[in-house]
């Protein structure tokens, strides 16, 4: 078995955060502290953990983390009022509404209420459209992380066949657009795709974003393929059968420690980008 390139997300995330330190210092010298507001609705323990992780990451870099925790009985209208208040707060540079929200809330309507220049998590349809057209400022953070990992390790997309397994609006669809904008030939597979394995077997680049543990099998992988596993399931298991897929892959992200850390670092980067845009 030839030597494999393990795509270490912690290394990439640290590189991103180290680059941000000087920029944050400059902003503070100009009287601006980058600020990310996170909105958590309800009592979902996983969501609370994610919000805490993002807050800790902000604190380590000197980014202000403003946490808004709303009761699970919060209505769509009340959530929209909270978002609009943050939209109008000049000291807030990024707004993140933690997914999922309680089922009685119109989540899409809430996402769309986020002001485009504060949509640092890339959840609005306006932001998605800009990303697809190639000039979006803040792509969804997990797709942005995937592209950053490829950039860091010098993995070329141009001319390659990328197969994206998953079509969610904040992962599968935007990463397909980002890869297409980097001149990859992109196939997007999903729950209605027949014989998914036949498409994956043709892939130079495999993006796993389906939300099913160990879904991508080792004998689906073309020798030399690059695998980026954006899945995270119970038990720290990705969407890729890691050990089996490692046999044929030339490069692969582990779970945990792959795409996840970079996703958070891209959220921080987008928040700093937004703060700098105000400072221009």
Whether residue 89 is found in the same domain as residue 152:
no
Q: Is the dihedral of CA 19, 24, 57, 143 positive or negative?
A: negative
Alpha carbon distances (Å) from 240 to 11, 51, 173, 190: 21, 26, 19, 15
Q: Which of 177, 20, 45, 165 is nearest to 98 (CA)?
A: 45
CATH assignment of the domain containing 93: 3.40.50.10860
> Which residues neighbour 161 within 8 Å (Cβ) at sequence distance 6 or greater?
184, 185, 187, 202, 203, 204, 205
Question: Where are the alpha helices (H) located in the chain, listed in sequence order?
Answer: 9-29, 45-61, 76-87, 107-113, 125-133, 141-152, 172-181, 196-200, 242-246, 259-279
User: Is 239 one of the catalytic residues?
Assistant: no
60 given a catalytic annotation: no
Supply the range of the domain harboring residue 96: 31-115
pLDDT tens column, 3-41: 899 999 999 999 999 999 999 999 999 999 999 999 999
- Establish if 23 belongs to a structural domain: no
Q: 234 and 180, same structural domain?
A: yes
Domain boundary among 62, 81, 115: 115
- The residue written with tokens 């959530």 in the block is 79
Residue 146 and residue 85 in one domain: no
The predicted-structure confidence for 191-248, as pLDDT tens digits, reads as follows 999 999 999 999 999 999 999 999 999 999 999 999 999 999 999 999 999 999 999 9
Among 50, 82, 115, the domain boundary falls at: 115
Q: 90 to each of 17, 37, 179, 183, how far by Cα in Å?
A: 24, 12, 34, 38
Give the pLDDT of residue 2. 62
pTM, 2 dp: 0.96
Task: From the candidates 119, 121, 204, 273, give the one annotated as an active-site residue.
Answer: 121
Pair (148, 106) in one structural domain: no
Catalytic residue among 17, 54, 173, 182: 54
Q: Do 163 and 97 share a domain, yes or no?
A: no
Mean pLDDT of 100-104: 95
Flag whether 26 is in a domain: no
Domain tally, the chain:
2
Q: Tell whether 84 and 193 lie within a shared domain.
A: no
In a domain, 97, yes or no: yes
Catalytic one among 8, 98, 148, 204? Answer: 98
> Is 130 labeled as catalytic in the residue annotation?
no
Note whether residue 177 is domain-resident: yes
> At residue 1, does pLDDT exceed 50?
no
162/71 same-domain check: no
The 10 Å Cβ neighbour count of residue 113 is: 20
Residue 29 burial (10 A CB sphere; 0-12, 13-18, 19+): exposed
- Classify 248 as helix, strand or coil: coil
Average pLDDT over the chain, rounded to an integer: 96
Q: CATH no. for residue 146?
A: 3.40.50.720
Q: Is residue 214 part of a domain?
A: yes
Q: Are 108 and 160 within one domain?
A: no
Q: Is residue 278 part of a domain?
A: no
């Amino acid at each position: 078995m030839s030597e494999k390139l393990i795509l270490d997300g912690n290394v990439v995330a640290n590189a991103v955060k180290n680059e941000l330190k000087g920029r944050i210092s400059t902003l503070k010298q100009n009287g601006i502290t980058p600020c990310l507001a996170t909105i958590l609705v309800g009592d979902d323990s996983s969501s609370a953990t994610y919000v805490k992780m993002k807050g800790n990451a902000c604190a380590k870099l000197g980014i202000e983390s403003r946490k808004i925790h709303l009761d699970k009985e919060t209505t769509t209208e009340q959530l929209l009022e909270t978002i609009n208040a943050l939209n109008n707060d000049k000291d807030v540079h990024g707004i993140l509404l933690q997914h999922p929200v309680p089922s009685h809330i119109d989540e899409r309507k809430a996402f769309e209420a986020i002001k485009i220049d504060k949509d640092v998590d890339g959840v609005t349809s306006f932001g998605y459209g800009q990303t697809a057209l190639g000039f979006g400022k803040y792509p969804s953070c997990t797709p942005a992380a995937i592209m950053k990992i490829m950039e860091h390790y010098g993995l070329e997309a141009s001319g390659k066949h990328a197969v994206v397994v998953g079509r969610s609006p904040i992962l599968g669809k935007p990463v397909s657009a980002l890869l297409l904008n980097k001149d990859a030939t992109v196939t997007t597979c999903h729950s209605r795709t027949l014989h998914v394995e036949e498409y994956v077997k043709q892939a130079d680049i495999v993006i796993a974003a389906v939300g099913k543990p160990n879904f991508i099998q080792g004998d689906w992988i073309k020798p030399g393929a690059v695998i980026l596993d954006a899945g995270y399931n119970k038990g720290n298991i990705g969407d890729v059968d890691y050990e089996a897929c490692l046999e044929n892959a030339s490069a692969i992200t582990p779970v945990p420690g792959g795409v996840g850390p970079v996703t958070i670092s891209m959220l921080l980067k987008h928040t700093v980008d937004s703060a700098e845009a105000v400072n221009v």
